[in-house]
Structure formats: C-alpha cells, structure tokens
Amino acid sequence: MSAPRGTGGSSLFARLPSRRAAIAMLAAGGAGSLAACSSFPTEGDVFQSDAVNEGGGVLIQTAPGPVDGAAPVAIVEGFLRACTAGLSDGFATAREFLVDSAADSWQPMSPLLLASGSEPLTVRRADDGGVTISGKLEGSLDSTGVLSAQGLDYSESLTLVTTARGQWRIASLPPGAVVQGSVLRTAFTQQSIRFLNAAHDRPIPDPRWLSRKRLEEAALEALLSGPAAWLKDVATTAIPNGTRLQEVKVVDRVATVRLRADASSWGSEAQALAVAQITATMKEVSGIDTVIVMAGDQRLAAQVTPLDAAAEPGAVVGMSGGAVVRGTSTTRAVLMQPSTLGTMGARHPSLGVDGGVCVVSGPSILRVGPGGTQAASILSVGDSPEDAVGLLPPRQDRHHWIWTASQGGLIVVDARGVRAEVAAAWLSDRCVISMDISAESDRIAVRHRDAADPSNQSGERVDAAAIIRDGEGRPTRLGDRYPVAGLTGQGARELAWYSGTELITIEPSQDGQGTASLVIASLGCLEASRSPGPPTANGIAANRLNQTMLLSDSDGQLWSRASGTWRVISTTVTDAGYPIV
C-alpha cells in the first residue's frame, strides 16, 4: 500500500552534525564512535552517525539501517543518510531501505547527486501519499567520474509500501543517490586523464573524480573507456579499442601496468604514444614516479617523450612605445615597429605560430604576416569609439585562426580576414563578455550573459566547450557547454586558461577599497580558490600550461608573483599576453 497522506516534514541535512562536531564526538568516545582515529579529511562535512578511518586519507562513513516501526518520512531520512555512507559500503545499507525489486534495479552512481551544503534538503509527506525530497543541488557526478558543476533545483517523489512484516520500505525512486556535496573530496579525488588531440602532438586533459579506494585502477579504466562526452569530438587516444586492464601494482613508487592486449598489433609510434598517455595519467596519482607498461608479458615502449614537451610558449608579448615587443626586460625583442603597424595606438598584440602578429587598432584588427613590412586590416566592426570598446583582444590558435568578439558576438577569421561560421547553439541568445583559447586550441572558455540585458551580471555564466573543426582545421562549431563554477564574482570580466584544467579571473577591488582577488577554478569542481592580488589589478596574462601568469593594473604596471609576493617587473610594457604554440 502507499504511504498515507500527511503534512509532516523535516530539513534533513540541517540536523546532521558538522564535521567539527562529529570529530569532537569521536574524540570523546561517544556512543557508536571509534575510540581513536589516526586522521581525518581536511575538507568536507561529516554527517553520518559513525566514521572510522581506513588509512591513506580514506574516511569510512557508516549509517544505521531502517528502524522497526519507522514512519515513511523517517525511512526516507534514514535512506538519505545511508546514501552518504554508501560511498564507503557500496550502498549496501541504503538498499536495506528499499523493497527487493527496487534494491536490485537502483543505480546509485548514475548519477551521484550533490546536495547544497548551504540549503538543506527537505523531506516531507506529499499529498499523493508519497514522500518528496526537495532542495538545491550543487552538481552531479556520473558513473565515469565526470562532474557537472551546475546548480539545479531538485524535487523528487518516492513511493513507499509496507512489507509483510508491516515495515515501510521505498518501492519506487529515481536513478542516482543524493549526498551532500561536501563529501566529494572525502570519497573521491580529482585526476586528469590524458587524451590526445587529432594530430597526436598535444595532450587534452580530461578531469575526473575517481574513488580513493582504487585510484590507480580507476584512472586507467577511465583512460581505456575514452574521453568525457563534452570532449569526445576532439579528444582521441593511441590505445587500441578493446584494450582492457589486467592489473596495476605499485611498489617503491614504480607502477607496473599490465594490459590485456596483443602488443604485436601495435606499431612503434602507437606504442610510444599509448605509453606516454598511460605514464602521464598515472603520474597524476600521488606516490608514482615511474611507469612500466606491459601488454601481456611484453613491455611496451620504454622510452617516451612527455606529451607536453613541445608546448612551451616562451616569453610574454606586449606593447611598448607603440611597438610590439617580446619579453619584459630592458633587452626585450621588438617584433613590430609602429611604422610597420601604421599606427602608434595599437593594442593587445597576439603572436601566431607562424610568426604573424595581430593587434587591435580602434574598431579593427590589423595583421602583419611573417616577414611582412606592412599591416593589413583583416576585420573591422565599425567606425565609432563604442565599436572599439566592444572588440575583444584577438587570440591566434594553432590552426592559424583568429578569435575575438564584438558587441557580444563571437567572431573567427583567418589570416586574410575570411570568416568561419562557427555554430554554437548555447550562445545564440547570449552576449560574450570575454573568452580564451586553450593551449592545444581544441577548447574554448567563454564568459557570457543574457543578450537581452548584457549589463546585468546576475545571469552570467562561464562555460568551456570543445572546438570542432573540419579536416583542414577550420572551426565549424562549438560542442556542448561544460559549466565552470566560481568565476562569476562581482565585477569579474577577464578570463584566461591558467593551465590545462584551470581557468583564472580577477575580481577587482570595489570603489577603490581593499585589493583585487585572484580567482582560480578547476574544470569539474564545485568551488574556486581565491587569493589577493595587486590592489588595482585588472588584466591577466597566463601561459595556459603551467600556472605561469602576469597581472597588469590600472597604473600601467606589470606584476609577477614569486614565493607568494607580488612585485612590479615592468612599467613600460602593456597589454601583455602569452602566445599559443
């Protein structure tokens, strides 16, 4: 029978103890607690009824099963607590709250739903006799470890029936388990799985949240199963289809990976690339320095070149005295004189892989080809000062395409100014505020707002997406957007790739008070990190690879950080930026 109607309800996670309170109870040796624990995770709330430490930073969480005679709301509350413990016990306790058929068919990790810690879930009896769970979600984690950091309203209804013993159990429920978002770092750790671009000459990192219990195996299985859905059109692999993991053993910081594969079917180049992918992926795991890859009893390529060995952007490019320069010291190289550019007012230089230079001049983008002696206009977006303000600094990608935006619309042109029509359905009613291209040029990051009200920051989003190209490298469309959390703080406009998996922005000081904040967000995370920057910082130059960056300020100064301290390195170089190589 269905649960009887009622109005009872409760706010579940609000009544659960905080991490600090739980630790205090454990330390005091309270009922159901462990007398001594060697360590606890450094982040996240503990809101289960009991917790013990397995070692290696893995916290084992437990929860009681259903209590005889419990009412429907209490059964659902207990089920939610057991879902969090399910990350430790394989959801065995959570299934005790379900009827047998539901327990057999329920898929708790498809997906794992991450509830907001600031807005507790509410459990209440519904008018139709069921029990509803409602609240806010911070995101979700799918069965492959891909996290979607997109806040959503959550509301689901569960049907309960009584068993032959007269006990309430859940008979119908939606896929996935709901847990508090703060447990993410308790049970999982984020790792970058290393795939390849189409040319197999640059890595494309794919961040995943993997179980701490079997991290080495999970990382390799993620690599063998292929890239995340949002990267599938650009990320490739040199590992043959059908390759399976036999085992991985780590001894004295050496990981031996044994694959179920026929090594004789792999060419030497494919072997080297596959081993490079596996090596780069495994070295993301703490405690591994060396990786040996075996196919059956045969060792695959022992000497490999690191995947990102060729991706070194070199010195920063900027403007000084009307000229395009490279470097910030007094011995910096002059790339283009004002006479070549045809103007003393050029800004925002961009150096291409072929040596060609683009600059912004009013509402136009000028380009000087490699070895050229005169700039040519390849794009004009108007003739008024307002048009010039709306033109974003250009980015030259590795395929010789130049990316910018004007009046909120994304624009892509080649070296001659011929436009590429790049389809992006998710930008159709949006206004591009800032954007950047990743180091391998297969991903874009975009800050965008509602086109109907672009001055309103409340509807702002930051998304990453794959850049999909034709066989000649011409961009044709952007893939599905992948939300990035934490970068839409007050006043933030800049956006840059800080590394292969991180984006960076600046939240400027408000009304000249305090200092600017540097905000860094990892792809696939629920929050961003903040640190103070120079007081009036308003511009970022990041090299997209290894967290190297410079900041510019409203006084025309260029800042660098060393050992946690910011210092001015130039007062004569402006509009700094790193080239994509």
Q: Is residue 499 part of a domain?
A: yes
Q: Which of 85-89, 489-493, 495-499 has the highest mean pLDDT?
A: 495-499
Identify whether residues 176 and 209 lie together within a single domain: no
Identify whether residues 425 and 528 lie together within a single domain: yes
567: confidence class by pLDDT, cuts 50, 70, 90: very high
Identify whether residues 169 and 244 lie together within a single domain: no
Identify whether residues 89 and 179 lie together within a single domain: yes
For 159-179, what is the mean pLDDT? 94
Identify whether residues 165 and 232 lie together within a single domain: no
Cβ contacts of 490 within 8 Å, gap of 6 or more: 457, 507, 510
Of 152, 186, 220, the position where a domain reaches its end is 186
Q: Is residue 416 part of a domain?
A: no
Place of tokens 């009304």: 511
DSSP letter at 419 equals: B
In degrees, to the nearest 5, what angle opens at C-alpha 178 toward C-alphas 172 and 180? 160
275 three-class SS: helix
Identify whether residues 455 and 542 lie together within a single domain: yes
- Which percentage of the chain shows pLDDT scores above 70? 89
| Tens-digit pLDDT profile for residues 427-456 | 999 999 999 999 999 999 999 999 999 888
Q: How far apart are CA 512 and CA 517, in angstroms?
A: 13
Across 470-545, where does the E strand assignment appear?
Answer: 475-478, 482-483, 496-497, 502-507, 517-522, 529-532, 537-542
Identify whether residues 451 and 522 lie together within a single domain: yes
Identify whether residues 152 and 251 lie together within a single domain: no
Of 134, 167, 186, the position where a domain reaches its end is 186
Identify whether residues 218 and 159 lie together within a single domain: no
For 166-175, what is the mean pLDDT? 94
Of 125-134, 217-226, 426-435, 544-553, the range with the lowest mean pLDDT is: 125-134
CA–CA distance from 507 to each of 528, 539, 569 (Å)? Answer: 12, 10, 22
Domain span including residue 212 = 197-299
Of 299, 314, 333, the position where a domain reaches its end is 299
Is 344's pLDDT higher than 80?
yes
In degrees, to the nearest 5, what angle opens at C-alpha 128 toward C-alphas 125 and 132? 40
406 three-class SS: strand
For 556-568, what is the mean pLDDT? 92
Per-residue model confidence (pLDDT) at position 262 = 84
Identify whether residues 91 and 111 lie together within a single domain: yes
Per-residue model confidence (pLDDT) at position 44 = 33
| Tens-digit pLDDT profile for residues 103-134 | 999 999 989 999 987 788 899 998 888 899 99
338: confidence class by pLDDT, cuts 50, 70, 90: very high
| Tens-digit pLDDT profile for residues 302-328 | 777 777 655 677 889 999 999 999 999
pTM above 0.75, yes or no: yes
Identify whether residues 507 and 454 lie together within a single domain: yes
